[in-house]
Chains A and B, each alone.
Chain A
Amino acid sequence: MSQLQVSTTVNGDPVEFLCEPDESLMDVLRDRLGLTGTKEGCGSGDCGACSVTVDGRLVCSCLVLGAEAQGREIGTIEGMAKGEQLHTLQKKFLEHAALQCGICTPGILVAAEALLKENPDPTETEVRYWLAGNLCRCTGYDKIIRAVMDAATEMRGA
């Protein structure tokens, strides 16, 4: 296979990489760009651990080809904190202990941020349905939902 040259934007920064035609965006992010905050869970679009945004739209990066990133804007968990300043969602996840092993956490944070951009005042049911594609084997979800609801409240007040 001949490699493809791809120019894209990741978290606002212009990025160029080479990838195989059948290589997923998740593998490109992790193995070629060193952005290992995006996690591999199932690799088949069922668990949401690899959630990123492409042109603002929440997707599983394991179900996107690296080649598709040409000219798009990719958002990953590494773009969430501003330097040392954690995003409100990240702070609330720590406050509420909304993570244990942490593998699902980056994907859930990216997904929750996408939700709050679209709907700053979601109901608990809306949060649960939006995050239904993000699986967590540790927390039982309740703390995650509380952290997202609390972050939404704080972000609306800010």
Chain B
Amino acid sequence: MRFEAPETVEAAVSLMAGEPGEARALAGGTDLLVQLKSGRVAPDLIVDLKRIPSMTAITQEDGGFRIGGAVPAAEMLEHDALTAAWPGICEAAYLVGSTQVMGRASLAGNLCTSSPAADTVPAMVAAGAMVRIVGPDGARDVACEDVPSGVQKNALKKGEVVDSIFLPARPARASDAYLRFIPRTEMDIAVVGCGISITRAADDTIAEAKVALGAVAITVQVVADAAKAIIGTRLDDAALDALAAACSAACKPINDKRGTIEFRTDVAGVLARRAAKIAYDRAGDAA
């Protein structure tokens, strides 16, 4: 195995694409090092992305934020403008693991590991995050929900890495929230996760919404019917009932010791109600 730490995105792509065997990109390493140690992966080349300045930077762009592919969760949580604009994504990042894990783990890594239960993914999908993927054929921007393609499978091709994740500009009175269910209070993997982004109109009805569920199917689920159920409403009880029903209907979960199919299906609706209320309240407070 070789280890390389290039200083430009171009050099990283050229190393990844030029490796005849298996190449793995290293951002925070909180998944990759565990897989290396267990022998589940045995790459010929590891490319550390953290010497590339743009990969470790959070920059403002077109009124939104571009988060480099190797920015750790801890840095996001220390960024006041980012936490103010996207509290839902930041609370999902806060749930990813311990303080130590947050010191390393990145949004891009969480996305590329492509676990169905990834906490940050439903939050990013609800936010309309765009993922910039760079590779030997140049750069392409892909909607976050189109990146995971299966359990630990994703849309990246050989030689490609995630350059950054772009969170678009927020209109006034817009916010988001993420909630998950775990059987304990900390340090666990989501049984169900729900990310919701809401924009309020001047009359306090919901002008725009996006709802995403994690851990209830092979990949993150965008629930268009759930968004439809609350758009145009002030989140009255009937709207919340319709939201919850749409979320439960979108679930195709597994049955395991951590949550039965019935439980996950029901909890998806419960979390959606709660997350919608939080996002709606936050949107009312947002400038």
Contacts and interface: CB of A to CB of B under 8 A. Distances in A.
A141 B50 CA distance: 35
A8 B48 CA distance: 17
B1 A133 contact: no
Given A43-B37, A62-B33, A68-B50, A57 B98 contact: no
Interface in A18-75: 20-22, 24, 43-46, 48, 51, 54, 57-60, 62-65, 67-68, 70
Q: Is the interface of B mostly helix, strand, loop or mixed?
A: mixed
Interface string B77-106: 000000000000000000001111101100
A4 B3 contact: yes
Contacts of A111: 99-100
A132 interface: yes
Given A21-B3, A45-B100, A111-B99, A132 B29 contact: no
B36 interface: yes
- Give the bracket for the number of chain B residues in contact with chain A: 20 to 34
Contacts of A2: 2
A114 B29 CA distance: 21
Contacts of B97: 45, 133
A64 B36 CA distance: 12
Nearest to A71: B51
B279 to A, nearest CB: 23
A1 interface: yes
Closest 5 CB pairs of A and B: A133-B98, A21-B3, A132-B186, A60-B100, A57-B103
20 contacts: A2-B2, A4-B3, A24-B33, A24-B37, A45-B30, A46-B187, A51-B100, A57-B103, A59-B103, A59-B104, A60-B100, A62-B37, A64-B29, A65-B48, A68-B48, A129-B186, A132-B99, A133-B98, A133-B100, A133-B101
Interface of B: 1-3, 5, 26, 28-30, 33-34, 36-38, 46, 48, 50, 72, 74, 97-101, 103-104, 186-187
Interface of A: 1-2, 4, 20-22, 24, 43-46, 48, 51, 54, 57-60, 62-65, 67-68, 70, 111, 114-115, 129-134
